A and B are shown apart, each in its own frame.
Chain A
């Protein structure tokens, strides 16, 4: 079946502009996660959504970052007033359900963001 999809695959923007990154999780997956991968910081958790529960935003690096998940499916990560240090690959992942025994997070291809 279809995996996690993300768009755009690449985004180049100018410092100070806002960007939106989109994630379509695997159908039926109730949990959705955003991570960031950069050379200096490795793979970092940003935010996760589980069903209708309040999202865990503990990994968001600043208030310029926000995310929403509409209808329990598609998610959008928004970065306002982008800075050069925001340049990274943004990865989305989804998993079936928080309580399931053999839970695995399946990752999308990522969005490579470059802030000039």
Chain B
């Protein structure tokens, strides 16, 4: 059974500092996704990582994938308030298959 674990579950950030969220998964998978969820809203796709060593960046967010370690990281550079949200990683075992989600990391960026 595929399991996905995120840590930390909660991250209190100071504006301007850098932080990392970790996502571990238990079995070989085709691809890894990162989503953002604002309170009361749905999931917004951030990144899709398809291969070992993949790195994607958008603004202050950068995601990477190490398939050998079964680990993905989401790095936040110089945090700002509007990055406050819950971040989920998810894995599927094959293209177009069902997603297994991590428990989410709630991020709160304080001024």
Binding site for B on A (CB under 8 A): 31, 33, 35, 42-45, 48, 50, 56, 58-59, 91, 93, 95, 97-110
Which residues on the A side are within 8 Å of B42 (C-beta)?
91, 107-110
Most buried by B among A56, A93, A103: A103
B98 at the interface (CB under 8 A from A): yes
Q: List 9 A-B contacts (CB under 8 A).
A: A42-B101, A45-B99, A48-B97, A91-B43, A98-B95, A98-B96, A103-B96, A107-B44, A109-B42
B101 CB contacts on chain A under 8 angstroms: 42-44
The CA-CA distance from A50 to B95 in the complex, in Å, is 12
Check B103 against A102 for contact (C-beta < 8 Å): no
Residues of B within 8 A of A31 (CB): 96
* Number of CB contacts from chain A to chain B under 8 A: 58
**Nearest-Cβ distance from residue A69 to partner chain B, whole angstroms:** 15
In the complex, whether B83 has a CB less than 8 A from a CB of chain A is no
Tell me the complex Cα distance, A31–B48, Å. 17
The answer to whether A56 touches B98 (Cβ under 8 A) is yes
Interface residues in B31-70 by Cβ distance below 8 A to A read 31, 33, 35, 41-45, 48, 50
CB distance from B102 to the nearest CB of A (A): 8
- Could you say which of A59, A104, A106 contacts B98, with CB atoms under 8 Å apart? A59
- Considering the complex, give the chain A residue whose CB is closest to the CB of B90: A43
Contact A100 B98 (CB under 8 A): no
Q: Is the CB of B99 within 8 A of A42?
A: no
Which residue of A has the minimal Cβ distance to B47? A104
Contact: B98 with A33, CB < 8 Å? yes
- Interface: B7 (CB within 8 A): no
> Does any Cβ of A come within 8 Å of B87's Cβ?
no
Give min CB distance, B108 to chain A, whole Å: 18
Asked whether, in the complex, the Cβ of B96 is within 8 Å of the Cβ of A104, the reply is no
* Closest CB in chain B relative to A51 CB, distance in Å: 10
B25 within 8 A of A: no
Give Cα distance in the complex from A102 to B31, angstroms: 9
* Residue in B90, B96, B100, B104 whose beta carbon sits within 8 Å of that of A95 in the complex: B96
